[in-house]
Structure 1
Amino acid sequence: MLKNAKEVFAESLEKMLKKKTLDHVTVKDIVQDCGVSRQAFYYHFNDIYQLVEWIFKEQTFEALADNKDINTWQQGYHNILERMRQNRNFVYNVYRSISREYLETFMYRVLYEIIYPVVEDQSKGLIVDDKYKEFIAHFYSLAVVAIGMDWIRTGMKENPGEIAEKVAVLVKGDFKKALMKYSK
């Protein structure tokens, strides 16, 4: 399969992050490894952080695939955690290199994009202001980010399936229950 330039840059960065932290990788390192010019890199990305974000998004959306509704999101969340665990060095080196706030913000944006459509779907048949749907998605996104950050901080030791199951127990039925309370 022919790879596009973004994938080539991503592979290069992932390879480097197995050995060193993100703050020790430069655009020059990446383009030298890929055998291209700096302009080629900057055509696709503004900086290394944007490349990291692209990698996380691509892997997240691959992990989610068909797991974006109320009945399958748990498997999608499990897949995300499992991918993070499989790419442990990459995740740790990013975690240690950039501010926790940056990583939390990124994870929040990705999770919100997953959770909001589930909340929206669960609101069918109810009259609920968007601000309440957004608040429910915001609340659960923050909670799931906190669980994920703690899991990374403590060495990714707990089984991803167990984490996904624990979160599912807490969430099961709660979107609908909250939506019904906010319903007009």
Structure 2
Amino acid sequence: MSLSTKQQLANALKVLMLTKSLEKITIKDIVAHCGVNRQTFYYHFKDIYDLLRWIYKTEAIGSILDYKTYETWQQGFLKIFQYVEDNKEFCMNTFHSMGRDHLEDFLHSEVFSLVLNVVNEISTEYPIADDSKRFIADFYTFAFIGLLTSWMKTGMKEKPCEIIKKLEKLINGTIKRAIYKY
């Protein structure tokens, strides 16, 4: 029942965000849409931003868990782009709202984890300090998030698979070279 209720609340927020900006949506709006009371909302989430994080974590990031290796990172990034494209109104509403910081922080955390896994996998061949690994992962994380947000700002015209092809061509071998330099 708990997961079902969380999903109901998530669906309500997503539906409401099709017609209202995130700042204008209240918990009262969400629970009214679901037919539950406010306490039910607070049983599951501390606020609307907590619900927003849960949506992104379960829907967007849940789909990339199997793509955190050197051989599969491209599919993980493609899944993120496809999620944004498939949920354009919801993601753009978040992007253009006070929820943008939450979205970027969340993306940074999840993408950093993906990239750090790749760095750790590659670095088994080379002795490298953990802080250097984190620096390399942070650099590529910011590059990816910058690419994603730029794509969103310009109307998402380019197909995600084309962006990933360009990214793969650009990045291929650079993480290994960065590790080697450290």
TM-score, normalization: structure 1?
0.92
Q: Output the aligned Cα RMSD.
A: 1.7
* Deviations, residues 138-173 of structure 1 (Å, cap 9, x unaligned): 000001011111111111111101111111112111
Structure 1 residue aligned with 2:180:
180
* Deviations, residues 81-107 of structure 1 (Å, cap 9, x unaligned): 111111111011111122644432222
Deviates more, 1:63-72 or 1:118-127: 63-72
Q: Distance in 2 between matches of 1:38 and 1:66?
A: 36
Q: Contact (CA 8 Å) 2:53, 2:103: kept in 1 or not? A: no
Aligned-partner residue type, residue 25 of structure 1: I
* Deviations, residues 9-33 of structure 1 (Å, cap 9, x unaligned): 1111111111121111110011111
Deviates more, 1:45-54 or 1:103-112: 103-112
Any gaps of 5 or more consecutive residues in structure 2? Answer: none
Q: Distance in 2 between matches of 1:168 and 1:160?
A: 12
* Structure 1 segment 67-78 matched on structure 2, within 5 A: 67-78=67-78
Q: Distance in 2 between matches of 1:181 and 1:22?
A: 44
Q: Distance in 1 between matches of 2:109 and 2:64?
A: 15
Structure 2 residue aligned with 1:158:
158
Specify whether residues 105 and 61 from structure 1 end up closer, same or farther in structure 2 by C-alpha distance, changes over 3 A only: closer
Q: Distance in 2 between matches of 1:166 and 1:24?
A: 38
Structure 2 residue aligned with 1:12:
12
* Deviations, residues 93-123 of structure 1 (Å, cap 9, x unaligned): 1111226444322221121111111111111
| 2:126 counterpart SS class | coil
Structure 1 residue aligned with 2:84:
84
| 1:20 counterpart SS class | coil
TM-score, normalization: structure 2?
0.93
Q: Contact (CA 8 Å) 2:126, 2:180: kept in 1 or not? A: yes
Structure 1 residue aligned with 2:146:
146
Pairs aligned (count): 182
The alignment status of 1:41 with 2:41, answered yes or no, reads yes
Structure 1 runs of 4+ with >2 Å offset: 60-63, 99-106
Q: Distance in 2 between matches of 1:57 and 1:156?
A: 22
Aligned-partner residue type, residue 156 of structure 1: M
| 2:96 counterpart SS class | helix
Any gaps of 5 or more consecutive residues in structure 1? Answer: none
Deviates more, 1:12-21 or 1:56-65: 56-65
The alignment status of 1:112 with 2:144, answered yes or no, reads no
